[in-house]
Amino acid sequence: MADIREVAKRANVSPSTVSRVLGGTTRVVEEKRARVLAAIDELDYRPNVSAQSLKGIRTRTIGLVIPNVRNLVLPAAIRGVEDVARNHGYAVVLCNTDEDSEKEQFYIKTLKSRLIDGFLFTTAKINSHNIKDLQAEGFPVMLLLRELDEQSHAVVLDHYNGAYQATNYLLSRGLKKIGLVNGSLDIKLYDERYAGYRSALKEAGLKVPDEAVVHGIDGGIEAYRAATRILLNRVDIDAFFATSDDKALGVMRAIKDLGLSIPGDISVIGFDNADIALLLDPPLTTVAQPLYEMGAAACQQLIEMIEAKQPVTPQIQRFPAEVVIRNSVK
Amino acid sequence: MADIREVAKRANVSPSTVSRVLGGTTRVVEEKRARVLAAIDELDYRPNVSAQSLKGIRTRTIGLVIPNVRNLVLPAAIRGVEDVARNHGYAVVLCNTDEDSEKEQFYIKTLKSRLIDGFLFTTAKINSHNIKDLQAEGFPVMLLLRELDEQSHAVVLDHYNGAYQATNYLLSRGLKKIGLVNGSLDIKLYDERYAGYRSALKEAGLKVPDEAVVHGIDGGIEAYRAATRILLNRVDIDAFFATSDDKALGVMRAIKDLGLSIPGDISVIGFDNADIALLLDPPLTTVAQPLYEMGAAACQQLIEMIEAKQPVTPQIQRFPAEVVIRNSVK
DNA sequence: AAACCTTTTGAAAACGTTTTCAATTATTTT
DNA sequence: AAAATAATTGAAAACGTTTTCAAAAGGTTT
């Protein structure tokens, strides 16, 4: 690749001038400016990012730290992140941590020495120490699909309201005995979804059917086992609220394997509106998270933080959930 | 972050010496070596990648160019890539092109100015001009899940054999009237899968049921429509071979929507063994691609190319396909 | 103990930029 | 038209490394 000196030579100006037309920091007389632009074009010159970053210029690279790409919901959010990143000339480096603190540590280290401009975390059980440290060092940090505290920027769903709506929708369909297949209560969002579910039941004057409520479920297989157990115990249930679509998938399998029909015998509502929800049998009624939009908003905000002169005050953007009605509820 | 001079000062040596203990290029007397290591540790020093890259040192960053993360099969392959990258201290920047040549061009440009060490392409309809140019410029380029020509390194599946096996499996179950829901023949792998299907039929002395064969299908929705049309035309069929799992999903929906049962009335076999295949109803019999392993192998090979002194001779690694039997075939 | 190799070390140049500073050129004011 | 001011420019230093080169230190051999 051509360097700035070649461009300067060809345009018959000094490297400083070339730098100036690129950076737009100082005016350059129109004639030279045109020559420089022409030379840049002819040589297909692009400034060397390493050299720039050495001078304290942003690298236009962000680190996206997630538990695992191999997941029903993250890819949509990642796409949102990446699309706005690209539109702003940013590149995103992808880091899977499997919620493993050591891998997270490793990535933070390598990313820092790679002079990344900012971090975007989408991990559920994160080592919050890491985040705090990063913030203290002055790195822009954004949280996506999770939140830490009032001091941290985040883009999240209104999980409470989503679960509240889901439960109310079930109730509105005349379903009163609603089991819950939920994730770990240590993860804030599952705690909130649980709260939304309880509120709706309470408002309806119903009490939580404890024998049909299970927490700490991770993934479709565990959900399958949990639902099977509940059903085998002959708990009287007419619907399941699975707090993620992959759990819903497992629950549906369990119901069918026991020879019951959906939604004839038991209704199922999920959470996430993953891409596959539409293609299940029956198509899954679920609570939609605007994943793509949330990813985009988080990235947008992160870039604003990166490019802001002074620190921007922390803000938590809470996106509304929406139940999308398909055929898995009576 | 501390810089090399601070480390040098603290260890009471010159920066050159610090560089030498880090790089391992020259021997350093044990005593100083220990002091340097201690200083590095105390200051939590990590060399600045930009400064290193300016000196021609590798950045340990690779660009992974894919059509879209939001896809049934790619995340598994991406995970494979990323895991071996991490194990070698490499970071991977993710680029979604949507098979759009302009986005691809954009990414190649930004990645080049970011001094990426090598490229990994996983796009089906790629602008091969771009790849050729990159190779000509001396960039290590690796193809994953697709191949270009004998001059390019690639990790691919043996699609022909996979389709051949799938078709033979159907045949072995006594299914003789096998429809095909296939992707675009412009994409090499769909052409090969088609060839495998034809070979199996031919060997069995059967001819291709043209009214039940459709190409150019992209995604579950299109597959749904195609299968519905074939079924509505009362084409006599007892099985469908869908050449990807998302197509299989659409085909299954179509069959069920017409009140037919799987595999009772019509059997279905897919291709890919996506994570969700297991959780469908019925669990989908499909041809497994070792996606994770292929991603890992491609990344391994790319890193070897990057770190090799001289160019390594192009090689195409062809992984075997395997049919995984579940319940969607009689 | 002198002469010679080896090994180990530090100084300085280089990588490709940006930016400060001073010099030059252009413009305005008198 | 000269003086004063403003706009534009180039030279050089700086960013944090690695590496070449030459010097210093340490060992051998005589």
The answer to whether B79 faces chain A, any CB pair under 8 Å, is yes
Strand order in the sheet with A213-214: A213-214, A178-181, A239-242, A267-272, A285-288, A322-324
Strands A61-66, A91-96: pairing kind: parallel
> Is the domain of A151 the same as that of A205?
no
Residues B35, B137 within the same domain: no
Please name the residues between 86 and 125 in chain A that touch chain B, using a CB distance below 8 Å.
86, 89, 91-96, 103, 106-107, 109-115
State, as a whole number of angstroms, the distance between the CA of A217 and the C1' of D17: 49
In a domain, residue A56? The reply is: no
In a domain, B325, yes or no: no
Range of the domain at B178: 159-289
pLDDT at B37 over 70: yes
DSSP state of A268: E
Instruction: Specify whether the backbone of A213 is left (phi greater than 0), alpha (psi in -120 to 50) or beta.
Output: beta
Give chain A's radius of gyration (CA, Å): 25
Bond preceding residue A282 cis, omega within 30 of 0: yes
User: End-to-end CA distance of chain B, in Å?
Assistant: 64
CA atoms of B247 and A268, how far apart (whole Å): 25
Nucleotides of C strand lying within 7 Å of any protein CB atom: 7-12, 14-20
The encoded tokens of residue B74 equal 């790619």
Question: Any idea what the CATH number is for the domain that residue A314 is in?
Answer: 3.40.50.2300
Task: State the pairing for strand pair B91-96/A91-96.
Answer: antiparallel
What is residue B126's predicted lDDT score, i.e. its pLDDT?
63
Q: Which pLDDT score is estimated for B199?
A: 98
Between A and B, how many CB-CB pairs are < 8 A?
A: 132
H or E element: which one contains A155? strand A153-157
- For residue B178, is pLDDT > 90? yes
Check pLDDT > 90 for residue B25.
no
The pLDDT of residue A125 is 67
Give chain B positions within 8 Å (CB) of A284. Answer: none
Residues 206-235 of B near strand C (Cβ < 7 Å)? none
Contact B47/A at CB under 8 A = yes
| Residue A46 forms contact with B (CB below 8 Å) | yes
- What is the pLDDT, as a whole number, of residue B113? 83
pLDDT of A99 reads: 86
Let me know if residue A329 belongs to a domain.
no
Alpha-carbon distance of B186 to A64, in angstroms, equals 34
The reply to whether A50 touches chain B by the CB within 8 Å rule is yes
Q: Are B74 and B311 in contact (CB under 8 A)?
A: no
Nucleic acid strand D within 7 Å of A53 CB: no
Nearest to B8 by CA among B32, B43, B30, B36: B36
Task: Report the residue of A68, A103, A110, A115 to disrupt the B interface, i.e. the one with the largest count of B CBs within 10 Å.
Answer: A110
Do A234 and A266 belong to one domain? yes
Closest-approach nucleotide to residue A1, Cα vs C1'? C16
In this structure, the answer to whether residues B80 and B202 fall within a common structural domain is no
* Cα gap B179→B181, rounded to integer Å: 7
pLDDT at A124: 64
Is A328 within the bounds of a domain?
Answer: no
Residues from chain B that touch A109, judged by Cβ atoms under 8 A, are 46
What pLDDT shows up at residue A242? Answer: 98
> Which pLDDT does position A265 carry in this prediction?
97
The arithmetic mean of pLDDT across residues B52-64, rounded, is 94
Closest residue (Cα, C1') to D18: B55
Tokens coding A234: 């002959």
Output the CA–CA distances (angstroms, integers) from residue B133 to A306, B82, B302, in the order listed. Answer: 34, 25, 17
Closest CA to C12 C1' — which residue? B16
How far apart (Å, rounded) are the C-alpha atoms in residues B155 and B299?
10
Look at residue A283 and tell me if it is in a domain.
yes
DSSP string, A196-228: HHHHHHHHTT----GGGEE----SHHHHHHHHH
Of the candidates B284, B227, B225, the one whose C-alpha atom is nearest the C-alpha of residue B255 is B227
One domain, residues B260 and B299 = no
Is residue B329 assigned to a domain? Answer: no
Residues 6+ apart with CB under 8 A from B202: none
> B329 or A24: whose pLDDT is higher?
B329
Chain A environment of B112 (Cβ under 8 Å): 1, 46
What is the tally of structural domains in chain A?
3
Token look-up 């799987």 returns B262
The tokens of A192 are what? Answer: 């909130």
Cβ–Cβ contacts within 10 Å for residue A89, how many?
A: 11
Tell me whether residue B330 is in a domain: no
B177-192 mean pLDDT: 94
Q: Which residue shows structure tokens 């085909």?
A: B251
In a domain, A99, yes or no: yes
Q: Are residues A193 and A236 in the same domain?
A: yes
Residues A268 and A170 in one domain: yes
Say whether A63 sits in a helix, a strand or coil: strand
Per-residue pLDDT at B127: 65
Same domain, B163 and B285: yes
> Using the CB atom, is residue B24 less than 7 Å from strand C?
no
Per DSSP, A123 falls in state -
Burial class (CB in 10 A: 0-12, 13-18, 19+), A150: exposed
Q: Which tens digit of pLDDT belongs to each residue from A75-84? A: 999 999 999 9
Strand D proximal residues, B:20-49, Cβ < 7 Å: 20, 22-23, 25, 45, 47-48
- List the one residue out of A112, A124, A260 whose CA is nearest residue A183: A124
- Contact (CB<8Å) A75/B79: no
Asked if residues B282 and B262 have their Cβ atoms less than 8 Å apart, the reply is yes
Pick out chain A residues at pLDDT < 70.
124-127
Question: Are residues A268 and A205 located together in one domain of the fold?
Answer: yes
User: Mapped to the 3 state alphabet, what secondary structure does chain B carry?
Assistant: CCCHHHHHHHHCCCHHHHHHHHHCCCCCCHHHHHHHHHHHHHHCCCCCHHHHHHCCCCCCEEEEEECCCCCCCHHHHHHHHHHHHHHCCCEEEEEECCCCHHHHHHHHHHHHHCCCCEEEECCCCCCHHHHHHHHHCCCCEEEECCCCCCCCEEEEECHHHHHHHHHHHHHHCCCCCEEEECCCCCCHHHHHHHHHHHHHHHHCCCCCCHHHEECCCCCHHHHHHHHHHHHHCCCCCCEEEECCHHHHHHHHHHHHHCCCCCCCCCEEEEEECCHHHHHCCCCCEEEECCHHHHHHHHHHHHHHHHHCCCCCCCCEEEECCEEECCCCCC
Q: Compute how many other C-beta atoms are within 10 angstroms of the C-beta atom of residue A198.
A: 19
Please report, rounded to whole angstroms, the spatial distance between the CA atom of protein residue A38 and the C1' atom of nucleotide C26. 25
CATH number of B39's domain: 1.10.260.40
- Output the pLDDT for position A5: 96
Say whether both B169 and B269 belong to one domain. Answer: yes
User: B121 with B131: CB under 8 angstroms?
Assistant: yes
Per-residue model confidence as pLDDT tens digits over B130-161: 888 888 888 999 999 988 888 899 999 999 99
The pLDDT value recorded for residue A83 is: 97
A221 close to B283: Cβ distance less than 8 angstroms:
no
Q: Longest Cα pair distance anywhere in chain A, in angstroms?
A: 86
Q: Quick one: what percent of chain B has pLDDT higher than 90?
A: 78
Residue B56's nearest nucleotide, by CA–C1', is C15
CA distances from A68 to A4, A98, B79, B107 (A): 41, 6, 8, 23
pLDDT the model gives residue B125: 67
Distance CA A178, CA A227 (A): 12
Residue pair A121/A142 in contact by the 8 Å Cβ criterion: yes
Does B1 touch chain A if contact means CB atoms closer than 8 Å?
Answer: yes
Q: Which residues of chain A make contact with B252, given a CB cutoff of 8 A?
A: 281
pLDDT band at B24 (very low <50, low <70, confident <90, very high): confident
The phi, psi pair for A270, rounded to 5°, reads -110, -165
Residues B241 and B315 in one domain: no
- Are residues A145 and A203 both part of a single domain? no
- Give the residues across from B272 on adjacent strands: B288
Q: Test A54 with B59 for CB contact under 8 angstroms.
A: no
